[in-house]
Amino acid sequence: MRYGIFSDAHGNEQALAVIVPHLKSLELDEIIFLGDAVGYGANPNEACNAIRALASQSVLGNHDAAVCARMDYSDYYDAARQALDWCASQLSEENLAWLRGLSYKVRCEYIDFSHGSPLVPEEFDYIFAPEQLIDLLPYYDEFAPVTFIGHSHLTISFKLQRDRVTPLLLSEIHCDPSAKYIITVGSAGQPRDRDPRASCGVFDSVTRVFKFHRLAYDNETARKRIIDAGLAPAFGARLLVGM
C-alpha cells in the first residue's frame, strides 16, 4: 500500500491549498494526518475542513487536544496559549466534535502513526534527538517496525537497533526490515527545519521506502492572515524562513 502522510497543518489554509491537490494527484491507498490541525495559524476551520475531506485517518495533536478540552494548556507560553484560546472560540461545533473523537495513535499494517512518541501517545512527548531514543531502547520491542510522527516540525528521523540509534537526515529513507524506524514527516503549516516549504511524504509499505515531498505555497498571505487575526506576529514571520 502507498500512504500519503502529513502533519502539523496549524490552521495554514494556504499550505493545505497545495498539499491537498498534490496528495490527491498521487492516487494513494491511504492518506494519514498526524495531528495539530490547529494552533498558530489564522484559519482553523478551513484547515479542519480540508483535512477531514482529505485524510482517511487522523490522529490527535496536542494543539487539537487543547482547543477541544482534552488537555490542560495553562502552562503554555503566553502567545501560544492566547492563540489556542482564540482558536477554540473560532472553531465550529462540528470541527470541535471531530477533534474530540480523534485517537492518539492508529495502526495500519505494520506501521504506527502518532503525533509524538508512540509509547505513551497521550503524553505528546517530543522525539527530535538520538539521546531521547537511546533512553527508550529498553522498550525496543514495543515500537512498531515503522512509526511516523510529527510534533517537532522537523524532518529528522531515526533508525533503531537494539543497541544503538542512528539519526537520519535524508530526503528518501529505505527501511531495513531488520531495524525499526521513527520517521518525522515535518510540518505542513509551520516548518521549522530551515525550509519554508510545506512538508508531506509518501511511504510504500511493500518497498518500505519513504520519500519527502516539499511544496512551495503562498506563505506571505498566510503570514498576513495571522497578523490580521491579531495573533503573535512571530507565528507569521517564521513561515517565511522555516524556523
Write down the pLDDT at residue 24: 98
Domain spans, the chain: 2-240
Write down the pLDDT at residue 30: 98
168-203 pLDDT per residue, tens = 999 999 999 999 999 999 999 999 999 999 999 999
- Asked if residues 185 and 34 have their Cβ atoms less than 8 Å apart, the reply is yes
Percent of the chain whose pLDDT exceeds 90: 100
116-126 pLDDT per residue, tens = 999 999 999 99
Write down the pLDDT at residue 23: 99
Could you tell me the fold of the domain covering 2-240?
Purple Acid Phosphatase; chain A, domain 2 (3.60.21)
Predicted confidence band at 222 (pLDDT cuts at 50, 70, 90)? very high
- Mean pLDDT across 63-68: 98
Least confident of 3-12, 21-30, 73-82, 214-223: 73-82
Predicted confidence band at 34 (pLDDT cuts at 50, 70, 90)? very high
Predicted confidence band at 19 (pLDDT cuts at 50, 70, 90)? very high
- Mean pLDDT across 41-64: 99
135-169 pLDDT per residue, tens = 999 999 999 999 999 999 999 999 999 999 999 99
Separation between Cα atoms, residue 188 and residue 200, nearest integer Å:
6
Q: What is the average pLDDT score of the chain?
A: 98
| Of 229, 231, 202, the residue nearest 83 (C-alpha) | 231
CA–CA–CA angle 105, 106, 109 (5° rounding):
145
Helix (H) or strand (E) holding 30: strand 30-33
Separation between Cα atoms, residue 189 and residue 87, nearest integer Å:
15
Write down the pLDDT at residue 240: 98
Cell of 193: 527545519
